[in-house]
Structure 1
């Protein structure tokens, strides 16, 4: 399996980009409570370093975290040793019967492995089949608007012992966002460099909601998890399985 989010980028993402997961979690808990899902198994697709897993676990839920990055899963397992984690593709991993499936942080957009329309619809079908009646599928994806047409957007972020430089470019024909990431992490007196290129599918939310409904879900589309408004060009789908 290809190593996405290797050791250094996983570390940087955990210490420097944790707000997305931490600010999303309260809103997700509110959705679960509104649906009267007070306990049970939650499957977290793209669990990352386990930040949201820890909050769900502390709130009384069992959690199965699945992520394609072994480095991320290693951090998550250390953070929440009593939860179950697997290194696997979220598009093909076995999903056991559960009360909820969540995917925070645009994980369903990532094209690390096959996520064509057919593969994505097959995932929706499997999630619908494994969700208990009244269960919910909550996730967010990227939509167009990360870079102006024909332009490359560049920015950098730095922490105490790391620097990340990112280039973003959108392909409106392929509906694809390309992120070129250069990560520098301090090791001793020197900085170690790693490079990754991530491809993300840009979704049309109207079409996505239509596909979910065709597979049996009732769907709400929003740009927030509770009080937390997502950064620009990201949207949330909340898909319910009828009782």
Structure 2
């Protein structure tokens, strides 16, 4: 099934993109720190465009891609100065000499193990992105790993917003390789009646040492950050900053 249809995309845009905006703030500080010349920032799995809006307001040219057409339509409205398209991050040809590539909000967890293998594995994927970066360019992304399913491996959570509510059941596999999110969205229709939309997301889990090894093999200098500015990493969540050598 397709992920992030119209309803869930709108809910995500309303209540779940704060971390992407925090990631954009962290990236901007890093670009200033290393005095990167202005170049394109490519946002893979860009979501509804909250980080793209922050980056374009700071004067950076932004290209955003996402597999969800609903997300892309929202992003076009939120960040009209960016260039958006529907595309798969694993096959999208990132333009050369990019100043930065981002994958905020666990985008890299979503491709299946089979899709990653078909693309050549993590190190091959990171190598292609390194080749697209300008010298000193930045690859910044976050992932979830084993332990993100909580102490018992499963839990249920909920959230409400303007005109919607959401209940999600999280279940981490016993082998700690995948995590399943069963998401039910409720939107009021009339009186006490609600319309329900359900999506099931199965994502891959990665240990940080696996990611660091793949980044190193791809020729990138990488570190694990404590999180983004104002959004520290929780248990089982990891934030990576990698740079192409100058």
TM-score by length of 2: 0.91
In the TM superposition, what whole-angstrom CA distance separates every residue of 1:31-77 from its partner, at most 9, and x where no partner exists? Answer: 11112125210000111000000110011111000101100000001
| SS class of match (1:192) | strand
Deviation at 1:149?
A: 6.7
Match of 1:208 in 2: 211
In the TM superposition, what whole-angstrom CA distance separates every residue of 1:208-237 from its partner, at most 9, and x where no partner exists? Answer: 101111111011112312343133321111
* 169-178 or 210-219, larger mean C-alpha shift: 169-178
TM-score by length of 1: 0.92
Quote the RMSD (CA, aligned, Å).
1.9
Q: How many Å separate the matches in 1 of 2:99 and 2:149? A: 37
Gaps of at least 5 residues in structure 2 are none
| SS class of match (1:114) | helix
- Do the aligned residues in 1 keep the contact of 2:226 with 2:239 (CA within 8 Å)? yes
Deviation at 1:120?
A: 2.8
Q: How many Å separate the matches in 1 of 2:111 and 2:190? A: 34
Match of 1:101 in 2: 101
Q: How many Å separate the matches in 1 of 2:45 and 2:79? A: 15
Q: How many residues align?
A: 242
| SS class of match (2:131) | helix
Q: How many Å separate the matches in 2 of 1:151 and 1:100? A: 35
Deviation at 1:172?
A: 4.0
Alpha-carbon distance change, 47 to 148 in structure 1, aligned in 2, over 3 angstroms: closer
Alpha-carbon distance change, 54 to 217 in structure 1, aligned in 2, over 3 angstroms: same
Q: After the TM superposition, which residues 56-205 of structure 1 pair with which residues of structure 2 at under 5 Å, given as runs?
A: 56-97=55-96, 98-111=98-111, 114-116=115-117, 118-148=120-150, 151-173=153-175, 175-187=177-189, 189=191, 190-205=193-208
- Do the aligned residues in 2 keep the contact of 1:27 with 1:228 (CA within 8 Å)? no
- Do the aligned residues in 2 keep the contact of 1:142 with 1:200 (CA within 8 Å)? no
Alpha-carbon distance change, 118 to 173 in structure 1, aligned in 2, over 3 angstroms: farther
| SS class of match (1:115) | helix
